[in-house]
């Protein structure tokens, strides 16, 4: 009997109403568990109580407390409002921001039990993940994001005053269209700045002059190398092509942009970079937060600090969050990251405490090490979704989830079940699932490959297709129009098959209709 085992502690959470005093006491209790037993390491917390309308506000400005102004945020607000008012969609119980201090928004409508859940989930689960995960540490700067947003907001407001709302809005439209292509995905050589470059060029020249000796002119040389090819190579080198960070490319290279327009592109690029890790760690981030809140409320309940009713309410909403309809269910809409993450975290904890022989064979590194929280903390620090699944999805869990792999080839008339959850299939099944979380597969690979500098300055983009998956033509043409306006000269997009380098489709050249100048 669980009830018999419960300590008769001071009941902190019962009933529905909450007040600030109780919130604080519950926070302290959770903090004790999370930083003590679980060993979590978090940014200082700032919990803000907001109304439903403010939650809608936060929703529509991509969850940030401040944001520059743009019609698209108004559009999302209008849409969310209708969905919410008609009851199609509830509001999130919380929003948490990767900043230091870590800001968690909680809604005033939440019951005391929900507030408890939310604090454990956001203020400790997500917060720990933000602070410790390598991707976040590498790509985002939590301590300065709010200051930067403040700058961005006022900078864009000033631009609107000076250049007109219309001009700024068009520029932001174009920048937003390329936001998915505004991140340096791979660490790169530090770019030497142009002034340095010029100086070095002068030094080279001087060196050449100092070493000049007319006698070398008389020494016979081989046939001249083809000048044309050299030119193209030099040009690509000079423009640092190919370049996959389109926003960066336009910010630095586009010939006709004004300085303020470059700065706006830069702002959008910085935002894209700030959000870049979130897309790659959805499963882990939610898994971490969900696992932390689940274990935390269990501890609170065991210590008698949670009433039976509150526990029931929390479990009810917890199960709703981690619900995964099966593939043939009408509600199926892809794999629920909460579900996958939560179960994988639980599975890792199980492997490290009560491993089976199979686990020992598959995970010799962590099986039976007896330190579930230490293991999890390492996982949360070092992995992102793709590598996390590739490394830690266990056969036990694949069986439990009854995963299977469906291969859908364009030239075949039917889909084939290529692997199921059995001995022969575990590895490939796991690979396939991990691959579906790989950014390189999810997002089209688009690169600037060449600029015809001597001719009509046409910009050439390549989309490197994988597995014959093409771009959505309609949307691509719309984006190209933005690209042409940014570049100021014609733009051509070519789809190339990544494996064979064969040209698959060429979009018509798009002329700038109304270039930014």
Partner 1 sequence: MDIIDRRLNPRGKSLANRQRFLRRARRQIQDAVRDAAKSRGVADVADGEKISIPVDDLREPTFRHAREGGDRDHVLPGNKEFVKGDRIPRPPSGGGGGGSKGSPDGEGEDEFRFVLSKDEFLSIFLDDLELPDLAKKAVKQTEFPTYARAGYSVSGSPASLSLVRTMRHSLSRRMALSRPSLSTLEALEARIAALREAGADAAELTRLEEEHARMLARRKRIAFIDPNDLRYKRFEPVPKPIAQAVMFCLMDVSGSMTEHMKDLAKRFYMLLYLFLKRRYRHVEVVFIRHTHEAQEVDENTFFYSTETGGTVVSTALDEMKRIIDLRYPSGNWNIYAAQASDGDNTSDDNAKAVETLDKVLLPLCQYFAYVEVGSEDKDWTAPDTELWAAYKVLRKPGANMAMRKVRRRTEIFPVFRDLFSREREAA
The sheet carrying 459-465 orders its strands as 445-451, 459-465, 491-497, 503-506
Of 4-12, 23-31, 212-220, 273-281, the segment contacting partner 1 by CB under 8 A is: 23-31
Instruction: CB nearer to partner 1: give 299 or 430.
Output: 430
Question: Measured from the CB of residue 343, what is the shortest distance to partner 1 in angstroms?
Answer: 10
Please state the φ and ψ torsions of residue 323, each to the nearest 5 degrees: -75, 135
Instruction: CB nearer to partner 1: give 85 or 360.
Output: 85
CA angle (99, 105, 106) in 5-degree steps: 150
User: Of 403, 448, 486, 496, which one interacts with partner 1 (CB under 8 A)?
Assistant: 403
Number of residues counted as binding partner 1 (CB under 8 A) = 102
CA 291 from chain centre, in angstroms, equals 20
- Closest of 426, 357, 354 to residue 392, by C-alpha: 426
> Of residues 218-257, which lie at the interface with partner 1 (CB under 8 A)?
none
CA 289 from chain centre, in angstroms, equals 16
Q: Which two tokens stand for residue 389?
A: 């699944």
In whole angstroms, give the CA distance from residue 15 to residue 22.
Answer: 12
**Residues written for the chain:** 517
Q: Is 79 in the site for partner 1 (CB under 8 A)?
A: yes
What is the end-to-end Cα distance of the chain in Å, rounded?
A: 74
Instruction: Decide if 389 contacts 398 (C-beta within 8 A).
Output: no
Query: In which residue are the tokens 């065991």 written?
Result: 302
Instruction: CB nearer to partner 1: give 121 or 366.
Output: 121
Instruction: Decide if 444 contacts 461 (C-beta within 8 A).
Output: no
Q: Is 511 in the site for partner 1 (CB under 8 A)?
A: no
DSSP track, 133-192 = -HHHHHH--TTTHHHHHHHHHHHHHHHHHHH-HHHHHHHHHHHHHTGGG-S--S--PPPP
Instruction: Give a three-class secondary structure readout of 276-295.
Output: HHHHHCHHHHHHHHHHHHHH
Question: Measured from the CB of residue 229, what is the shortest distance to partner 1 in angstroms?
Answer: 30
User: Of 141, 173, 382, 509, which one interacts with partner 1 (CB under 8 A)?
Assistant: 173
Question: Measured from the CB of residue 294, what is the shortest distance to partner 1 in angstroms?
Answer: 20
Of 210-218, 236-244, 294-302, 464-472, the segment contacting partner 1 by CB under 8 A is: 464-472
Question: Measured from the CB of residue 62, what is the shortest distance to partner 1 in angstroms?
Answer: 11
> Of residues 3-22, which lie at the interface with partner 1 (CB under 8 A)?
20
In whole angstroms, give the CA distance from residue 276 to residue 259.
Answer: 25
> Of residues 316-335, which lie at the interface with partner 1 (CB under 8 A)?
324-329, 332-335
Q: Which helix (H) or strand (E) holds 21?
A: helix 20-31
Question: Measured from the CB of residue 29, what is the shortest distance to partner 1 in angstroms?
Answer: 12
Q: Is 24 in the site for partner 1 (CB under 8 A)?
A: yes
Is the C-alpha dihedral spanning 418, 421, 426, 432 positive or negative?
Answer: positive
Query: In which residue are the tokens 């917390």 written?
Result: 45
In whole angstroms, give the CA distance from residue 508 to residue 505.
Answer: 10
> Of residues 49-78, which lie at the interface with partner 1 (CB under 8 A)?
49-51, 53-54, 56-57, 60-61, 69-78
Instruction: CB nearer to partner 1: give 22 or 252.
Output: 22
> Of residues 325-384, which lie at the interface with partner 1 (CB under 8 A)?
325-329, 332-335
Of 175-183, 253-261, 271-279, 347-355, the segment contacting partner 1 by CB under 8 A is: 175-183
Give the number of other Cβ atoms within 10 Å of residue 245's Cβ.
21
Of 200-208, 256-264, 277-285, 461-469, the segment contacting partner 1 by CB under 8 A is: 461-469
Site string for partner 1, 133-162 (x = CB under 8 A): ------------------------------
Question: Measured from the CB of residue 173, what is the shortest distance to partner 1 in angstroms?
Answer: 8
Q: Is 402 in the site for partner 1 (CB under 8 A)?
A: yes
Question: Measured from the CB of residue 101, what is the shortest distance to partner 1 in angstroms?
Answer: 7
Site string for partner 1, 476-505 (x = CB under 8 A): x-xx--x-----------------------
Instruction: CB nearer to partner 1: give 57 or 371.
Output: 57
> Of residues 404-443, which lie at the interface with partner 1 (CB under 8 A)?
404-410, 413-422, 424-425, 429, 432-433, 435-436, 443
CA 505 from chain centre, in angstroms, equals 29
Instruction: CB nearer to partner 1: give 382 or 509.
Output: 509
> Of residues 89-108, which lie at the interface with partner 1 (CB under 8 A)?
101, 105, 108
């Amino acid at each position: 009997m669980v009830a018999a085992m419960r300590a008769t502690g001071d009941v902190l959470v019962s009933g529905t109403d909450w007040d600030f005093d109780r919130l604080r006491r519950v926070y302290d209790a959770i903090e004790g568990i999370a930083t003590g037993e679980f060993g979590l390491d978090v940014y200082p917390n700032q919990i803000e109580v907001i109304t439903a309308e403010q939650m809608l506000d936060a929703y529509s400005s991509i969850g940030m407390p401040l944001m520059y102004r743009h019609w698209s945020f108004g559009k999302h607000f209008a849409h969310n409002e209708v969905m919410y008012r008609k009851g199609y969609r509830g509001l999130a119980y919380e929003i948490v921001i990767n900043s230091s201090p870590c800001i968690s928004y909680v809604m005033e409508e939440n019951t005391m039990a929900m507030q408890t859940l939310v604090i454990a989930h956001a203020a400790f689960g997500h917060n720990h993940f933000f602070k410790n995960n390598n991707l976040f540490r590498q790509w985002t700067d939590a301590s300065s994001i709010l200051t930067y947003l403040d700058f961005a907001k006022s900078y864009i407001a000033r631009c609107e005053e000076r250049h007109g709302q219309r001009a700024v809005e068009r520029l932001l439209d174009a920048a937003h269209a390329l936001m998915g292509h505004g991140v340096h995905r791979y660490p790169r050589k530090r770019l030497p700045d142009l002034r340095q470059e010029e100086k070095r060029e002068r030094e080279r020249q001087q060196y050449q002059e100092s070493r000049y000796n007319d006698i070398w002119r008389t020494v016979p040389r081989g046939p001249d190398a083809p000048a044309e090819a050299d030119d193209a190579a030099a040009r690509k080198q000079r423009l640092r092509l190919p370049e996959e960070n389109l926003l960066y490319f336009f910010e630095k290279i586009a010939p006709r942009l004004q300085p303020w327009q470059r700065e706006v592109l830069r702002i959008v690029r910085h935002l894209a970079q700030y959000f870049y890790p979130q897309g790659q760690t959805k499963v882990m981030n939610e898994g971490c937060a969900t696992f932390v809140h689940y274990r935390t409320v269990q501890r609170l309940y065991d210590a008698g600090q949670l009433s039976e009713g509150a526990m029931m309410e929390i479990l009810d909403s917890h199960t709703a969050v981690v619900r995964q309809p099966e593939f043939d269910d009408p509600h199926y809409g892809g794999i629920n990251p909460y579900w996958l993450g939560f179960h994988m975290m639980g599975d890792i904890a199980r492997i490290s405490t009560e491993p089976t022989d199979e686990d020992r064979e598959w995970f010799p590194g962590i099986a039976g090490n007896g330190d579930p929280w230490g293991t999890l903390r390492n996982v949360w620090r070092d992995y992102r979704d793709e590598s996390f699944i590739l490394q830690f999805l266990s056969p036990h869990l694949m069986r439990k989830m009854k995963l299977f792999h469906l291969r859908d080839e364009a030239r075949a008339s039917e889909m084939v079940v290529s692997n199921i959850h059995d001995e022969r299939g575990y590895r490939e099944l796991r690979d396939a699932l991990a691959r579906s979380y790989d950014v390189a597969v999810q997002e089209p690979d688009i690169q600037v490959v060449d600029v015809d500098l001597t001719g009509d300055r046409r910009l050439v983009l390549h989309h490197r297709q994988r597995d014959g998956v093409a771009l959505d033509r309609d949307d691509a043409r719309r984006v190209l129009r933005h690209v042409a306006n940014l570049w100021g000269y014609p733009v051509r997009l070519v789809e190339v098959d990544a494996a064979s380098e064969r040209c698959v489709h060429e979009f018509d050249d798009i002329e700038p209709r109304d270039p930014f100048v």
